[in-house]
Amino acid sequence: MLSLTFKNLWARKWRSLMTAIAVIFGIALVAGTYVLTDTTNGAFNDIFVGANENTDVAITSKQQVAQEDGSNPAFSASVLKKVRTVDGVRLASGDIFSQGAILDADGDSTGGGFAPQFIASSSPEELESVEYVKGRKARGADESALDEAAAERSGLDLGDTILLVGTGKARPFTLVGLTRLGGASFGGTSIAQVTLPVAQQLTGEQGRFDQITIAADDGVSPEELRDRIRDVVPADLLVETGAENADRQASEIRDNLSFLSIALLAFAAISLFVGSFVIFNVFSITVAQRTREFGMLRTLGAGRSQILRTVLVEGLLIGLFASFVGILVGIGLAQGLSALLSAVGAELPSKTLVIATRTIVVSLVIGVGVTLVASLLPALRATRVPPIAALSETLVAKSNSRVWLRGLISGLLAVIGLALIASVLISGTDGGTGAARIGGGAIAVVIAISIFSPQLVRPMASVIGAPLQRLGLTGKLARENSQRNPSRTAVTSAALMIGLALVTFVTIFASGLNSSVTDVIDSNLKGEIILQGPGGFNPIPPEAAELASSIPGVEAASGIRFSNVKVTGAGGRSLSSVQPESVNQVIELEWQEGSAEDLTRLSGQEAVVSAGLADAAGLSVGDSLEVLSKTGKTVELTTTGVLASGNLEFLGDIIVSQQEMERDFGVDVDFFALVRTNPGLEVGEVQQRIDDAFQKPFPTVDVLNQQELKDNQRQQINTLLAMIYVLLALAVVVSLVGIVVTLILSIYERTRELGMLRSIGMSRRQVRRMIRYEAVITAVLGAIAGLILGVIFAFLIGIPLEGDGFALSYPVPVLATIVVITAFAGVLAAIYPARKASKLDVLEAVSYE
C-alpha cells in the first residue's frame, strides 16, 4: 500500500509539486528568519565577548526606564576612585561609549546607512578590546582612531581628517590608527576612539563615565572581585563580570532584534495559512476525483484506516519534501535578506551562517504539520467513500444539504472571532496577548467566511461574470464553470482573499498615517523649518537651535527633547520638553484645560499633560503626578494644563520645560528644533541661510521645510509599506499558485467535456479564453472579498485610534488598482492551465476514461 502511495504521488508529481510550493514559501521564511537571527545574534555575541576579553569586571548604570535608543545614562566619575581602593583591583579605567556621528572631511558620513556610529574613549592597553591593525591609539586632543571597515568604506587612511560630532559642534581630528575587534565584523557599525577627556567633551559627559572596566589581580576571580566592588559602589550601578556583561548585552540585542524575527515569522504564518487553503483544495479535489478508485480499493478489502493512511501519507510526504526544500530556500533567503538589509543601509554583523538544529526541527514540524492538518479533512472524506462507489457509472457529487450546519458553524466562528477582536479593542490590551487575540480572531473570521462562502460564490460569481458573459459563449461558459463547484471556487478565492485583505488593511492604515501626519504638520507646526538629525531619529546638538535663532530672518528657533519615563499609576509614557520662551512661536496646540500661556509659564516641576494621560491617571489642573526618570530619579510634577485629544500626541504625554528636562531627566540634546521665519520673508531663502551657516559646525543636521518634512515622513511610511507588501506578496503568490493548481485539476476533470467542445468546433483560442475568464472570475472574487474584509478590519481597528487624532483614509484609486492588478494576476495564473487545456488531443479527450 505504501508503494502505491509513492506511485500515486509520482504519477501526480506536478500536482504534488505545486501543492508543495504552497508550503515551501512559508517554511523558507521560517527557516530564513531563524538562520538570519541566529547568525546575527551569534555575531553580536562574538563582538561582545571579544570586547570584554580583557575585562574581569564591568560597571554600568542600570537603565531605569527603557529608552528608544537603548542607551544607558552615564554616571559620576567619582565611582572610579572608590573602585581603585578595592582590594584585588589591579587596573580600572573609566570609559565613554556613546552614539555620535563620524564624518569624512567633506562632512559625508562614514557609516553604512542606519547602522549606529559610536564615539569611544581609548583604554589602557591591557583593558583595550580592539587591536590596532595600523598606526597607534589617539594621544593628542586632535587625534582619533577609526575602525578599519569604516575607513575602507570612506577611503580614509592615516593622516586624513575626520569630523566627530557628539552633543556639540563638529570637531576635526587627525586619523592616527585603524582598529579591528577580534575577528568579528561590526556590520555597518563604526567606532571612533579618542582620548578619554576628548570623548567626555564630545559627548557632553564631563566628569562622567558610560562604563568602568576593571582587571583583577592574579588569584582573584572575577566573581569574587565583582562582589567586593558591589559593596562599595552606589546600589543603582550594575556590577558584572566581563562574561556576564557580554551575555547581557548580547541578550539585549537579541531582544531588540526579536521584533524583526517575530514580524517575519508572522508573515510566514500568513503565507502558511494561505498555503493550507491551497493544500486543502488540492486534496479535496484529488479525493473527489479518486472516488471510484477509493471505492474499488474498498471492494478489494481495504479498510477505512487504510484509505485514511494513503491520503495522509501523501500529505506527509509532500509536507516533508516541502519542508526540506523550504529549509534550503530559507538558507538562501537568509543570505539574500542580509544582503538586502545591507543594501538599504541596515547591515547586520555577519559570520558564517548558523543553521541550528532548532531551525531544522521547527521547520519540519511546521511544514509537515500544516500539510497534514490541511489534508486531514479531505482524507476523512475519502474514508467515507462507500465501496459501491466503484460500481457507480457517474461520480455522484454529493449535494450539500447541510447548509444550515455550515451557516451555524461559520456564524459561531465569526461571532467568536469578532468577540476576540472586540475584547482587545475595548479593553485596550496591547503587546503580545493583544496581537495574538486579534490574530486569532481574524483567523476565526476568515475560516468562518471560507466555510460559508460556497453559498456566496454563486451570486457573486454571476455578478462578476456578467460583463464577461457579454463577450460571448466562452464568457458564459466560464461564468457557469466557476459556479459549478462553489466550494472549490470558494476555497481558491478565500486563499487570495486573505492576502488581499491584509494588503487592503495596511494600505488603508498607511494612507491614514500619512494623512494624519500631514494634518499634524499643517495644524500644529507654526515653525516653517525643522532641524533634525540624520535619518530623523538621531538627536541634534542644542547649540544648533541657538545658532539658528541668531540668523537674520529667523524670528524664533525652539528645540524639543524627549525621554521615556514611568508615571506612577499610568505606566510607561513619553515625556517631552520645550523652551517656554519660544515654544508658542513654533507650535500650536489645542487645549482642554488651560491655554498656550501655560507653556510660556512652565517652570521647574510643572507639566502640561495630554488628554490621554489625564484620563488614565485622573489628572486635572493643580494635581500632581509622580514620574520616574531614566536615571532612576523620582520627580513630582504639578499639572498646569491639559491638552485636547487629537494632537496625535506628537509631544508625548507630558510636557516640561527644557531646564526641568536637563536637571531631572538628564537629557541635554534636542531631538529636533522648529524655526519660525520673519513674516514677509521667503522661507526658502531663510532655509538656505541656515543650511549655509550649519555647513561647518553641524554637518549632520538636516534643515527641512514643511513640505520636505512631509515627504520625509511619507517616504519612511512608504518604505515600511513596501517591505510589508513584499512579504505579503509571498502569501498572494501562494494563493495564485492555488488558482493555477485548481484550474489544472478542473481541466483534468473536464477532459471529456473539453474534448467534446473541441470536437463540435470550439477553437483552441476559445478554450484558452474560457479558462482565462474562469481564472479572472476567481481572482476578482478573492480581491473583492479581501477588499471588503480589509476595509472592515481597518474600520474596526481604527475606531479606538480616532481619539488620538488618527483618522483612517480610504485611498479609493489605490484600492481599485489592487483589484485590477489581481484580475491581471488571474490572467497570468491561467496561462499554463489554458495552454494545457487548449493542447488536449480531441480524440484522446473524448475516449478518456
Which CB sits closer to another protein, 178 or 313?
313
213 binds another protein (CB under 8 A): no
Which CB sits closer to another protein, 106 or 849?
849
Phi, psi of 698 (to 5 degrees): -125, 65
Which CB sits closer to another protein, 306 or 809?
306
Single-letter residue type at 738: G
The H-assigned helical ranges of 605-671 are: 611-617, 658-665
843 binds another protein (CB under 8 A): no
395 binds another protein (CB under 8 A): no
Q: Which of 737, 820, 104, 27 is nearest to 360 (CA)?
A: 27
Nearest approach, Cβ of residue 313 and another protein (Å): 14
13 binds another protein (CB under 8 A): no
Report DSSP letters for 208-272, one per residue.
EESEEEEEEPTT--HHHHHHHHHHHS-TTEEEEEHHHHHHHHHHHHHHHHHHHHHHHHHHHHHHH
Binder among 218, 393, 552, 761 for another protein (CB under 8 A): 393
Which CB sits closer to another protein, 285 or 627?
285
Q: Which of 406, 413, 485, 483 is nearest to 452 (CA)?
A: 406
Residues 6+ apart with CB under 8 A from 587: 524, 525, 526, 527, 558, 578, 651, 674
Three-state SS at 506: helix
1 binds another protein (CB under 8 A): yes
480 binds another protein (CB under 8 A): no
404 binds another protein (CB under 8 A): no
Binder among 10, 401, 428, 432 for another protein (CB under 8 A): 10
Q: Which of 500, 507, 503 is nearest to 778 (CA)?
A: 500
Which CB sits closer to another protein, 4 or 466?
4
391 binds another protein (CB under 8 A): yes
399 binds another protein (CB under 8 A): no
Total residues binding another protein (CB under 8 A) = 26
Nearest approach, Cβ of residue 5 and another protein (Å): 10
361 binds another protein (CB under 8 A): no
396 binds another protein (CB under 8 A): no
15 binds another protein (CB under 8 A): no
Name the region of 643 (left: φ>0; alpha: ψ -120 to 50; beta: rest). Answer: beta
The H-assigned helical ranges of 384-471 are: 403-427, 431-469
- Partners of residue 135 on adjacent β-strands: 177
Is residue 734 within 8 Å of 21, Cβ to Cβ?
yes
What does each C-alpha distance from 708 to 211, 530, 678 come to in angstroms? 39, 9, 20
Nearest approach, Cβ of residue 844 and another protein (Å): 10
- Residue ranges in 267-306 that form contacts with another protein under rule CB under 8 A: 292-293, 296-304, 306
Instruction: Choose the stretch contacting another protein; rule: CB under 8 A; options: 381-389, 441-449, 531-539, 732-740.
Output: 381-389
Instruction: Choose the stretch contacting another protein; rule: CB under 8 A; options: 100-108, 385-393, 536-544, 770-778.
Output: 385-393
Q: Which of 190, 51, 58, 9 is nearest to 113 (CA)?
A: 190
Nearest approach, Cβ of residue 387 and another protein (Å): 5
Which CB sits closer to another protein, 196 or 307?
307
Three-state SS at 813: helix
Single-letter residue type at 280: F
Half-sphere exposure in the Cβ direction for 173 (13 Å, CA): 33
Which CB sits closer to another protein, 67 or 383?
383
Instruction: Choose the stretch contacting another protein; rule: CB under 8 A; options: 251-259, 389-397, 428-436, 689-697.
Output: 389-397
Q: Which of 826, 788, 748, 746 is nearest to 488 (CA)?
A: 746
Binder among 135, 345, 387, 536 for another protein (CB under 8 A): 387
308 binds another protein (CB under 8 A): no
390 binds another protein (CB under 8 A): yes
Binding site for another protein (CB under 8 A): 1, 3-4, 7-8, 10-11, 292-293, 296-304, 306, 386-388, 390-391, 393, 849
